[in-house]
Amino acid sequence: MCPASSRAFLTPVSCAVAFCLTAFLSGKIYAAPVDAHTLVIKYSIPDYTKTVDDNADVIISGTLEFIESRDKHSGAFYKYAVIHTDTPYRLKEGDGLDDSNVTPTTYISLTPHTHHNALKEFTPYLGRYVTVSGKLSSTNGGGPLLDYKTLTRSQRDD
């Protein structure tokens, strides 16, 4: 969108060109004019996104965080652990895969080994940069889920 201060000087076509140029430089979306009155915006997956098969064995590095959410049916609050990765991950499109699994995400949910007190298992790693290995699989509308085998602290390579 064109800034409000520049609207008086720019025509709709020049606003579209400015938006198109900005989107092109960001590498995330691009705009393609269909005709004089329509502008179609398309999303393209960045080249740095890692696409893996459903139930693939992966090794992922990132910061361990807790997410607090509310159940949409009961209204109850719950927390779960995620790995906030530097690189977006997505599952390869296929039969039965929900859109939330193929949309690139930098937040990968972790399956706890102890369901009774799941957060205690991850508390020593909270806020730490970790490396996790395990199987990345699809869920029913919740995005990819990592059933981890190993979880270790690691150094961030900057």
- Residue 125 neighbours by CB distance under 10 Å: 19
Is 109 contained in some domain?
A: yes
64-70 LR contacts (CB < 8 Å, sep 24+): 64/110, 64/122, 64/125, 64/126, 64/127, 64/128, 64/130, 65/107, 65/126, 65/127, 66/119, 66/122, 66/126, 67/107
Give the integer Cα–Cα distance in Å for 66 and 84: 10
Give the integer Cα–Cα distance in Å for 36 and 9: 19
Q: Are residues 36 and 21 in the same domain?
A: yes
- What's the pLDDT at 41? 59
Q: Are residues 58 and 127 in the same domain?
A: yes
Q: Are residues 33 and 59 in the same domain?
A: no
Q: Are residues 77 and 116 in the same domain?
A: yes
Tens-digit pLDDT profile for residues 136-148? 998 877 789 999 9
- What's the pLDDT at 36? 63
Predicted TM-score of the model (pTM): 0.65
Are the C-beta atoms of 144 and 91 separated by less than 8 Å?
Answer: yes
Q: Taking 90 as the threshold, does the pLDDT of residue 151 lie above it?
A: yes
What tokens were used for 135?
Answer: 């199987």
Domain that residue 148 falls in: 50-153
- What's the pLDDT at 4? 46
Instruction: Please say whether the dihedral angle defined by the alpha carbons of residues 42, 47, 52 and 53, taken in this order, is positive or negative.
Output: positive
Is 158 contained in some domain?
A: no
Tens-digit pLDDT profile for residues 51-98? 899 999 999 999 999 999 888 889 898 889 999 998 999 888 877 787
Tens-digit pLDDT profile for residues 29-52? 445 555 666 666 555 566 678 989
Q: Are residues 39 and 57 in the same domain?
A: no
Is 23 contained in some domain?
A: yes
Q: Are residues 39 and 86 in the same domain?
A: no
Domain count, the chain: 2
- What's the pLDDT at 44? 59
Tens-digit pLDDT profile for residues 98-133? 777 888 889 999 988 877 777 889 999 999 999 999
Are the C-beta atoms of 83 and 107 separated by less than 8 Å?
Answer: yes
